[in-house]
């Protein structure tokens, strides 16, 4: 028996239309599901650059969900901007501006963040035997670092400024959440520690949003979260102190912070001599033995304060201090351009010279 044949003959235009509609629907589903993390999409790199704390702040988050990463980065940068407003002594309305204004007069109520940085700074001052000292501001101002009008100060002015530098005359009161500078004319400068603290808080903001792989860099104060998606560590370069375009080494990090203090960051030269911005609180002069001090630590505040501190302490005392601190390592370059390292650095460090 012969069955009847039915032929549907759809016009080509209709067939193409149906295919296109399906493709568009599929694209829409992918567009909605992929970024939300429902779909095991490929890992993406989301980065952001901004200008904060008078420096370029760069960050990078590895994620499967671009929108989530952007949201976390917004939190991190907002937190950094909030803290900068509290800690910048050049703003009269900042906590530090107010503390300085009231030196010798009265204690000033401060935010938790300000209190925390100052308390940690005083601990590190004690640890470094005063080599790291946040009451350094009168000396920094005398030399003109910060204002841009740099010059060698005369001896009388230097002695007068030195008399205002002493971290033991900072009086924190945890009950009142206040800070008092005991002498009129005293001034705090958190330039050697605040960036590290801010980087830590920015990293905490990323962690709070569930970020597991990220890099946050405020002008060389760097903290990394986790490792890279392929399981490899973050590779951080250490700049050659006498050649800006060259790296002297690189360091591999996971879940750590790294900060370098260098005599090449801010300086002026007079009669062929370099005068830089890291001053010895005991002499009022820029120190000469070390030209670059890098510290690796679990957090950026510790790395920041200690890199400035050991820069002043010098090679022998600086390294001895680092060796006494668990989880903290250092790479120090002395004026003869020799690279020295603490005993725990190991194969985290790769020299390029
Ligand atoms: P850093 O680049 O972290 O080493 O910080 C250097 C900045 O810290 C300088 O620009 C000063 O504002 C401040 N500073 C300079 N000397 C000292 C010191 N001995 N202790 C603490 N802060 C210092
Ligand atoms: Mg520092």
Q: Two tokens at 37?
A: 């993390």
* Beta carbons of 59 and 216 less than 8 angstroms apart: yes
CA-nearest of 236, 308, 204 to 266 is 308
Could you tell me the pTM of the whole model? 0.89
Beta strand extents in 53-200 (DSSP E only): 55-63, 108-109, 170-173, 178-181
Rounded to an integer, the average pLDDT of 141-146 is: 93
Mean pLDDT of the 47-76 span: 96
Q: Are 87 and 190 in contact (CB under 8 A)?
A: yes
pLDDT, tens only, 251-305: 999 999 999 999 999 999 998 999 999 999 999 999 999 999 999 999 999 999 9
* Ligand 1 closest atom vs CA 279: 16
Q: Are 125 and 133 in contact (CB under 8 A)?
A: yes
Tokens of 8: 């549907």
Q: Is 99 in the pocket of ligand 1 (CB under 6 A)?
A: no
pLDDT digits (tens, 9 = 90+) for 184-223: 999 999 999 999 999 999 999 999 999 999 999 999 999 9
Task: Kindly report the average pLDDT of the chain as a whole number.
Answer: 94
Q: What are phi and psi of 113, to 5 degrees?
A: -60, -50
For 308, the token pair is 């400035």
State the pLDDT at residue 8.
66
| Most informative mutation of 191, 194, 219, 309 for ligand 1 (most atoms within 8 A of CB) | 191
Q: What pLDDT is attached to residue 298? A: 98
Q: Where does the pLDDT of residue 327 fall: very low under 50, low under 70, confident under 90, or very high at 90 and above?
A: very high
Contacts of residue 69, defined as CB under 8 A and 6 or more positions apart, other chains included, come to: 44, 46, 61, 63, 211
The answer, yes or no, to whether residue 34 has pLDDT greater than 80, is no
% of the chain surpassing 70 pLDDT? 95
Atom of ligand 1 nearest to the CA of 312: 19
The Å distance, Cα 108 to ligand 1 centre, comes to 23
């Amino acid at each position: 028996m012969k069955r009847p044949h039915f032929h549907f003959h759809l016009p080509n235009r209709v067939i193409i239309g149906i295919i296109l509609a399906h493709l568009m629907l599929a694209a829409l589903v992918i567009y909605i599901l992929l970024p939300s993390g429902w779909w095991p999409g490929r890992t993406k790199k989301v980065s952001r650059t901004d200008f904060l704390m008078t420096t370029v702040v760069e960050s990078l988050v590895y994620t499967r969900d671009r929108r989530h990463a952007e949201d976390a980065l917004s939190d991190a940068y907002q937190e950094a901007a909030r803290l900068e407003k509290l800690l910048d002594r050049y703003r009269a309305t900042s906590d530090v501006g107010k503390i300085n204004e009231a030196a010798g007069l009265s204690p000033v109520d401060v935010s938790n963040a300000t209190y925390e940085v100052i308390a940690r700074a005083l601990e590190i001052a004690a640890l470094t035997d005063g080599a790291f000292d946040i009451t350094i501001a009168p000396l920094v101002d005398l030399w003109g670092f910060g204002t841009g009008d740099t010059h060698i100060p005369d001896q009388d002015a230097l002695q007068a400024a030195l008399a205002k530098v002493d971290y033991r005359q900072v009086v924190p009161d945890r009950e009142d959440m206040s800070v008092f500078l005991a002498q009129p004319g005293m001034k705090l400068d958190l330039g050697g520690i605040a960036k590290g603290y801010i980087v830590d808080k920015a990293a905490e903001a990323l962690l709070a949003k569930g970020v597991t792989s990220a890099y946050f860099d405020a002008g060389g104060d760097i903290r990394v979260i986790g490792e890279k998606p392929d399981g490899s560590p973050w590779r951080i370069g250490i700049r050659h102190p006498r050649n800006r375009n060259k790296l002297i080494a690189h360091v591999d990090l996971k879940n750590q912070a790294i900060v370098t203090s260098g005599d090449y960051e801010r300086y002026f030269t007079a009669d062929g001599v370099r005068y830089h911005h890291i001053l010895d609180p005991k002499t009022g002069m820029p120190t000469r033995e070390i030209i670059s001090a890098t510290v690796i630590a679990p957090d950026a505040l510790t790395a920041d304060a200690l890199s400035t501190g050991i820069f002043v302490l010098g090679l022998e005392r600086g390294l001895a201090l680092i060796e006494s601190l668990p989880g903290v390592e250092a790479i120090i370059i002395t004026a003869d351009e020799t690279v020295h390292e603490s005993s725990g650095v190991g194969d985290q460090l790769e020299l390029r010279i």
